[in-house]
Amino acid sequence: MLGVASGDPLPTGGVLWTRIAPRPMEADWGMDGVRARVAWEVADDDGFSRIVRKGMYSAAPELGYSVHIEVDGLLPDRWYFYRFRVGDAVSQVGRLRTAPADGTRTPLRFAFASCQHYETGLFTAYEHMAAEELDLIAHLGDYIYEYAGINGRVRKHDGFECRSLQEYRRRYAQYKLDPLLQAAHARAPWIVTWDDHEVDNNYAADVGENIYESAEQMRARRAAAYQAWWEHQPVRVPRAASWADLSIRRSMNWGALARFWVMDTRQYRSDQPCGDGTQKIPCGDWGSVQQTMLGAEQERWLVNGLAESRSTWQVLAQQIMFAPATTKPAPGDSAYMDVWGGYPKARDRLLAAIGDRAPGRTVVISGDVHSNYVQDVRRGFDRPDRPLIATEFVGTSISSDGDGGERSAYFPESAESQRT
């Protein structure tokens, strides 16, 4: 089995995950195309003397022998232990933490992570997370990198750049075999979203990084990548007519203390303005009100949800840097087009929603840029005296290029604004 994981906790349960793959890097994963009967158990204790839920699951080759159990009927605000069994093989034991009951104010200790490039470093940060008493871990994207393997790095990807379902499955298997990543998944429940490298670097909707890939080819690639992502994550998402249209936006409460809004800033966004990269502003359609980061439907979902939520804290779990890298962007400045700064009107709409509906109680958590920032989020960024409405925490990568430097590879002109 490729480890165990739990995720998307509710007061009465959560999602339990594993994947059956005795030989995960082979074409049939060592399963010969035969369905696997998987027994699962949830217990009060790690010795499994008091089993409270159990059942059987049929793992199918069409879904890569992935296992997703939506367990229910548990008590809120407590730890449980779970495991899987296939024949004589027994998985490691994982821990599931149920969320507090609605209306209760239970403290929360959580970590967030992003950008774990297998080739450019070891996953030692997860060793530390597995040793912490965390209630929850949020992963903000770039769980895998799609690139072909390169010689001379710390580790090497198996195979060429991922484009097919089988190639994405092999890449996830290679990452999932990492013992430190397995330990962090077993330790606490996760909430997971994706960014670009789960599909293709800097892709936007049906527009890929490479100009020779058509929109039709990108949709096929996206379908393969999204299916492989679902097969390897402990997530609760609605069924879709096509894997290429998998909706992953969702929200969940931690009692009355916090509501997490899990966002997707890739599938519905407009193509990056001005040809992507770092550009002098203004340029092209950079300032157009037609540019969107979330798409109209997801934007309405988030804006209306912020208005209705009564949780003390609104936590926007999303991928890319929200506040600008410089304190007061002005004409002639440079802007990196792949983050919210490349979509200023879309950001203004979200700033207005936060300012009107959840000022002073919104936290934005971000990844992507391999740098640490703590930033004030103001009602607008055109003047420094605009009202402060939220705080953004940008986390560095688990193991991707850029860590440890005094300057950001994305915002080299703004080192004075970085607070690490």
Asked whether residue 367 carries a pLDDT value surpassing 80, the answer given is yes
How many beta carbons lie within 10 A of that of residue 373, not counting itself?
22
pLDDT recorded at residue 55: 97
CA distance 65 to 238: 19
Asked whether residue 419 carries a pLDDT value surpassing 60, the answer given is no
Between β-strands 388-394 and 362-366, what pairing exists: parallel, antiparallel or unpaired?
Answer: parallel
Q: What pLDDT, in 10s, does the model give residues 168-204?
A: 999 999 999 999 999 999 999 999 999 999 999 999 9
pLDDT recorded at residue 420: 34
pLDDT recorded at residue 409: 61
Task: Grade residue 401 by pLDDT with cuts at 50, 70 and 90.
Answer: confident
- Which residue do the tokens 């990548």 mark? 225
Asked whether residue 403 carries a pLDDT value surpassing 70, the answer given is no
Task: Grade residue 397 by pLDDT with cuts at 50, 70 and 90.
Answer: very high
CB 189 within 8 A of CB 7: yes
* Tokens linked to 239: 């069924």
Domains in the chain, CATH or no CATH each: 1-98 (2.60.40.380), 103-417 (3.60.21.70)
CA 320 to mean position of chain CA atoms: 11
pLDDT recorded at residue 351: 97
CB 386 within 8 A of CB 377: no
CA distance 311 to 258: 5
Asked whether residue 402 carries a pLDDT value surpassing 80, the answer given is no
Asked whether residue 254 carries a pLDDT value surpassing 80, the answer given is yes
CA distance 399 to 394: 15
CA distance 206 to 219: 6
Task: Grade residue 230 by pLDDT with cuts at 50, 70 and 90.
Answer: very high
Alpha-helical (H) ranges within 78-144 are: 124-131
CA distance 249 to 345: 21
Asked whether residue 154 carries a pLDDT value surpassing 60, the answer given is yes
pLDDT recorded at residue 415: 41
Between β-strands 136-139 and 110-113, what pairing exists: parallel, antiparallel or unpaired?
Answer: parallel
Distances (CA, A) of 62 to 31, 36, 130, 147, 166: 12, 12, 32, 25, 11
Mean predicted confidence (pLDDT) in 301-327: 93
Please list, residue by residue across 69-103, b when 16 or more beta carbons sit within 10 angstroms of its beta carbon and e when fewer do: bebeebebeeebbbbbbbeeeebebbbbbbbbeee
pTM higher than 0.75:
yes
3 state DSSP class of 180? helix
Q: Does 238 or 219 have the greater pLDDT score?
A: 219
CA distance 185 to 4: 7
**Average model confidence (pLDDT) across the chain:** 93
Mean predicted confidence (pLDDT) in 76-88: 97
Q: What pLDDT, in 10s, does the model give residues 18-47?
A: 999 999 998 888 888 889 999 999 999 999
How many beta carbons lie within 10 A of that of residue 2, not counting itself?
24
Going by C-alpha positions, the residue among 338, 337, 394 that lies closest to residue 370 is: 394
Measured over the CA atoms of residue 41, residue 110, residue 292 and residue 415, the dihedral's sign is negative
Asked whether residue 410 carries a pLDDT value surpassing 80, the answer given is no
pLDDT recorded at residue 130: 97
Mean predicted confidence (pLDDT) in 383-399: 93
Task: Grade residue 404 by pLDDT with cuts at 50, 70 and 90.
Answer: low
Mean predicted confidence (pLDDT) in 240-260: 96
Going by C-alpha positions, the residue among 261, 283, 260 that lies closest to residue 272 is: 283
DSSP letter assigned to residue 204: B
**Range 381-389 contact pairs with CB under 8 angstroms and sequence separation of 24 or more:** 381/323, 381/324, 381/328, 381/329, 382/328, 383/328, 384/327, 384/328, 387/355, 387/359, 388/360, 389/351, 389/354, 389/355, 389/358, 389/359, 389/360, 389/362
Q: What pLDDT, in 10s, does the model give residues 255-276?
A: 999 999 999 999 999 999 999 9
